Structure 1
Amino acid sequence: MSLNDAERHRTCEEFAQNLALARLTPHEAAADLGFAPERLRRTLDAASTSDPVDVWQLRDYLRQAVVDSGGTPVRHTVLTERSRLKARMWFSLRRAPRHDFTAPGRP
């Protein structure tokens, strides 16, 4: 599954909004996902060089993090459940980890 420029832009915006709604830092997200900072940046940007499996994992991680923090996630316009069915035909998607909002030091 390859995204065109408009789809990449929308996906990037949706990721940024959900990251903010979850009140997570990029550092926290990278740690939870086991991504190096550059890998997370490429994935948040839905860059053409990002791994599609990483993009789906980030989508699911952020969506769940927003729900776990008590919010309502931004709806995905490109990475929809219908698109997931197609992606599963091409990729072995990974289950997303969950952020521990009960960890000490969290506001």
Structure 2
Amino acid sequence: MSLNIEQKKQTSIELHENYKISGLTPEDIQSDLGLDPNQLENILNIKSISDPTAVWRLRDYMEEKITEQGKTPYPYSVLIENIYFPYKKEKKWEE
């Protein structure tokens, strides 16, 4: 994923909005995706050390959790369609 600075800022805003809508705790996400607190924060803020796969997986994970609750996810303007890094529930990764 090669996003410019503005795209990273916008995507971070969108990830944070969906994080709020999801109602999930950091511990929920960390447990489900095998992340530590620093990794989660780096992904949400799209730090330069963030693995593109991790960003897409968090995006898809939160969309799934929001939809399961009958809510509507906040729309993404940059990460629109994930064709590169499919979300796999059973897979955990290291960043």
| Same topology, TM > 0.5 | yes
Where structure 2 has 5 or more consecutive residues not aligned to the other structure, the ranges are 91-95
How far apart, CA to CA, are the structure 2 residues paired with 1:7 and 1:40? 19
User: What is the total number of aligned residue pairs between the two structures?
Assistant: 90
User: After superposition, what is the alpha-carbon deviation per residue over 1:41-98, rounded to whole angstroms, capped at 9, x for unaligned?
Assistant: 11111111100000000010011111111200011101011xx34xx2xxxx242439
Where structure 1 has 5 or more consecutive residues not aligned to the other structure, the ranges are 99-107
Indicate the residue corresponding to 2:4 in structure 1.
Answer: 4
Q: List, as ranges, runs of 4+ consecutive aligned residues in structure 1 with deviation greater than 4 Å.
A: none
- 8 Å CA contact 2:56, 2:87 repeated in 1: no
Indicate the residue corresponding to 1:51 in structure 2.
Answer: 51
How far apart, CA to CA, are the structure 1 residues paired with 2:13 and 2:52? 17
Indicate the residue corresponding to 1:24 in structure 2.
Answer: 24
Q: Is 1:95 aligned with 2:87?
A: yes
The share of aligned pairs that are identical, in percent, is 36
The range that moved more, 40-49 or 52-61, is: 40-49
Alignment of 1:8-87 (within 5 A): 8-81=8-81, 84-85=82-83
When normalised by structure 2's length, the TM-score is 0.85
